[in-house]
Amino acid sequence: DQQVKQNSPSLSVQEGRISILNCDYTNSMFDYFLWYKKYPAEGPTFLISISSIKDKNEDGRFTVFLNKSAKHLSLHIVPSQPGDSAVYFCAASTLEGGKLIFGQGTELSVKP
Amino acid sequence: EPEVTQTPSHQVTQMGQEVILRCVPISNHLYFYWYRQILGQKVEFLVSFYNNEISEKSEIFDDQFSVERPDGSNFTLKIRSTKLEDSAMYFCASSDEKAETQYFGPGTRLLVL
């Protein structure tokens, strides 16, 4: 099931710079997209989401961009901090209360 | 801040044994879910539960699996006869009436020997 794909397994960024994590999807019926952050041996922690009727949502240092025509979303973290180092998952759903389809995750490392 | 809790954090069992994984969702949430993540793989959906019944289940969720909400607070996942390939992290999640954002628990690491 490759409906949601994160093609970069890892990303390394210098502290203070921008981190850009990317996610592609194939199912045009997805109407809600989420980003989760996960530390080892912990559950996914919700970060930010976006509805398919929007193209941008911002929350503090985190901004999610949605390009429906390209079936692509991205998470921008600026400025990046060492505490942001974790695995980031994008996820998508097709209806309210519906299952989340996850990407494979991107491991972000922010170096001091 | 309210959070989803899960017990136990770790469970080791012998193949063929029954296990029950427990979850306490966030108190005013109405939708409940189980997911699992096999080591090195994606987080996979197992089942969703709403209004005291299963609303959706994946191919993984076969007759060996069942879910129950025995009271107003707990949500359980039972695996009747565990197999080696059931070894994984199992995550419970819940969402409120808007059903947009799912909040995850810390997970139960299940090891089947």
Domain ranges within chain A, ordered by starting residue: 4-111
Can you tell me the mean pLDDT for A1-28? 94
User: Looking at the predicted structure, is the pLDDT value of residue B2 above 90?
Assistant: no
Region of residue A3 (phi > 0: left; psi between -120 and 50: alpha; otherwise: beta): alpha
Domain count, chain B: 1
**In the prediction, which pLDDT does A2 show?**
74
CB contact (8 A) between residue A100 and residue B106:
no
Nearest Cα to A11, choosing from A97, A80, A93? A80
Give A111 to chain B, closest Cα distance, Å: 24
As to burial, measured by CB atoms within 10 angstroms (0-12 exposed, 13-18 middle, 19+ buried), residue B78 is middle
Interface test with B, best of A10, A47, A100 (most B CBs within 10 A): A100
The mean predicted confidence, pLDDT, of chain B is: 94
User: Looking at the predicted structure, is the pLDDT value of residue A56 above 80?
Assistant: yes
User: Is B87 an 8 Å CB contact of chain A?
Assistant: no
CATH number assigned to the domain comprising residue B87: 2.60.40.10
Contact in structure between B40 and A99 (CB atoms under 8 Å) = no
CB contact (8 A) between residue B48 and residue A98:
yes
**In the prediction, which pLDDT does A1 show?**
58
Q: A82 falls in which pLDDT band (50, 70, 90)?
A: very high
Look at A8-17, A94-103, B98-107 and tell me which has the smallest mean pLDDT.
Answer: A94-103
Question: What is the percentage of chain B residues whose pLDDT exceeds 70?
Answer: 100
pLDDT digits (tens, 9 = 90+) for B55-102: 999 999 999 999 999 887 899 999 999 999 999 999 999 999 888 899
The CA distance from A71 to A34, in Å, is 14
Structural domain of B29: 5-112
**Encoded tokens for A89:** 């998952």
Q: B108 falls in which pLDDT band (50, 70, 90)?
A: very high
CB contact (8 A) between residue A104 and residue B42:
yes
Can you tell me the mean pLDDT for B1-29? 95
Helix then strand then coil, in percent of chain B rounded to 5, is: 5, 50, 45
Q: A23 falls in which pLDDT band (50, 70, 90)?
A: very high
**Which residue type, as a one-letter code, is found at position B112?**
V
User: Looking at the predicted structure, is the pLDDT value of residue A9 above 90?
Assistant: yes
Residue B9 DSSP code: S
Superfamily of domain A4-111: Immunoglobulins (2.60.40.10)
Chain B positions touching A42 (Cβ under 8 A) are: 106-107
Chain A positions touching B42 (Cβ under 8 A) are: 102-105
Can you tell me the mean pLDDT for B16-44? 95
Residue of B nearest to A91 (CA): B43
